Structure 1
């Protein structure tokens, strides 16, 4: 302002003849004052801000004139569930839906509710897995069993905790060969038999294959080794993998099974059969699958050395 007061009179004398410097200066000063006032007014005015409330955009200038309670009511009204939902509304879920099953009986109830066909491969695969699970719990005394079969089971249908020595509580453990030998060397690996370990508990992984005519091929053995190779690498021989199937091996599949660097057990278990068509959703209408034999690869033989599995399997069959 001071610079303008001192500068404008000189300009007025040079370019605006007929007017004295004081009157022109007063005129320009008043104009400048009005411009500054307008500028200050615009700076003091609240800026319009946009706030995103969920999926609704609210201009803050709309709520500036309202008090806090009114602005909160406006936001609640805009964001309330009464707004129009997108897409088709969800159907209410009945309370009686059975979403979980962990036994043959509960699975048959689930299938009956869902009106599934008992001839489908999906039904038979899950039904087979649950029958195997109940067989292992009853005869091999496995504990903490979890059935996780499905499309995303990563090659493992059942996992559990297993102490194999509990099966032979009434039987004296045999020691074949040198009793002072604590380790067995199989396939370039050292294995300590379970009967010589202080902790005899194993992690058991089970995969079930309810084949119609197919046999266990090398591809399946590679998938098994890939699904649990990392666990065996970190934990050593503290686990065993069991493959349960309705059919046997191909020639190359048997060779890969024996050469595997993890302990593998094969169990032949028959497919359940519907014997009474009047009761497809009742356990009494089905003939339960039965065990037909067990086979250990060399690494598993060394791990279970001292336990009489031959007589045990003969009694089951």
Structure 2
């Protein structure tokens, strides 16, 4: 049944906040703990990944034995590509058959999209209120990727780091030096409001940054344009 655009968007936002609301209600007894705040941030990140980047099958895997991965899921980038192609004619872009980054040679995802419908995503969340993510955290993330993802799957998997803070210059240099597709997302923490949290005007995706490898690998897919034009509000 057809629904007016604004009503469809309201329903979509409500569904994306439902898991967060359930988590808050079920964990009131530990609401002041760092464990609560960390898990709340993971749920906030999942909301933004699902709503803003059209990711699916997201699972919160954070815990004592998470091996450095807090969220796993799938990214059917074809949805983003199809939408942006209709606007920007992305299929007219000349995407090279092979690219190179830091000595690694690989095929851009655009040339594999027809046979590989979606990418896997591994996400690490750092709910730092004040301190920025240091190079040490990125080195640990790279180690996690190497240990968890077989070499045959490394161009089928995107690794992400999420934090409320901007990248440091050292962090940018480090992630641009690695031979794997890595994306940094700056996502706010939810802000308290009354006896709960502001689920409407806080916890938003603020910045999306692809390292050099990811920028080559995902070229011509329209992801940055999708975010810039806020197409997630229109799909």
State the TM bucket, normalised to the shorter chain.
0.7 to 0.9
1:214 paired residue number: 131
1:140 paired residue number: 53
1:202–1:240 Cα contact (<8 Å) kept? yes
Q: 1:177 to 1:126 in 2, by over 3 A?
A: same
**Residue 214 of structure 1: CA displacement?**
1.0
- Pick one of 143, 166, 180 that aligns with 1:248: 166
- Pick one of 151, 164, 175 that aligns with 1:233: 151
How big is each residue's C-alpha offset from its partner over 1:66-109, in whole Å with a ceiling of 9 and x where there is no partner?
xxxxxxxxxxxxxxxxxxxxxxxxxxxxxxxxxxxx92122112
How big is each residue's C-alpha offset from its partner over 1:101-155, in whole Å with a ceiling of 9 and x where there is no partner?
x92122112213xx12x33322111111001112211222212211111222111
**Residue 165 of structure 1: CA displacement?**
2.1
2:154–2:180 Cα contact (<8 Å) kept? no
**1:106 and 1:236 mapped to 2: Cα distance?**
35
Long gaps (5+) in structure 1: 1-101
How big is each residue's C-alpha offset from its partner over 1:232-285, in whole Å with a ceiling of 9 and x where there is no partner?
524231100011110122222221111011100011111100111xx33xx668
| Aligned-residue CA RMSD (Å) | 2.3
User: Which structure has the higher relative contact order (CA within 8 Å, separation 6+)?
Assistant: 2
Indicate yes or no: 2:43 matched with 1:130.
Answer: yes
**2:92 and 2:174 mapped to 1: Cα distance?**
26
1:306 paired residue number: 220
**1:285 and 1:256 mapped to 2: Cα distance?**
33
- Which structure has the greater CA radius of gyration? 1
TM-score norm. by structure 1 comes to 0.61
1:184 paired residue number: 99
1:274 paired residue number: 192
2:80–2:222 Cα contact (<8 Å) kept? no
2:206 paired residue number: 292
How big is each residue's C-alpha offset from its partner over 1:195-246, in whole Å with a ceiling of 9 and x where there is no partner?
1112131110111111111112111111001111131524231100011110
1:242–1:266 Cα contact (<8 Å) kept? yes
**1:289 and 1:203 mapped to 2: Cα distance?**
24
Number of aligned positions between the proteins: 208
**Residue 316 of structure 1: CA displacement?**
4.0
1:148–1:157 Cα contact (<8 Å) kept? yes
SS at match of 2:27: helix
**Residue 315 of structure 1: CA displacement?**
3.1
**2:181 and 2:55 mapped to 1: Cα distance?**
17
SS at match of 1:268: strand
1:196 paired residue number: 111
1:191–1:302 Cα contact (<8 Å) kept? no
**Residue 191 of structure 1: CA displacement?**
2.0
**Residue 171 of structure 1: CA displacement?**
2.2
**1:220 and 1:284 mapped to 2: Cα distance?**
29
TM-score norm. by structure 2 comes to 0.80
Q: Pairwise mapping of residues 77-96 of structure 1 onto structure 2 (< 5 A)?
A: none
Long gaps (5+) in structure 2: 1-17
How big is each residue's C-alpha offset from its partner over 1:49-71, in whole Å with a ceiling of 9 and x where there is no partner?
xxxxxxxxxxxxxxxxxxxxxxx
1:174 paired residue number: 90
2:135–2:170 Cα contact (<8 Å) kept? yes
Indicate yes or no: 2:68 matched with 1:150.
Answer: no
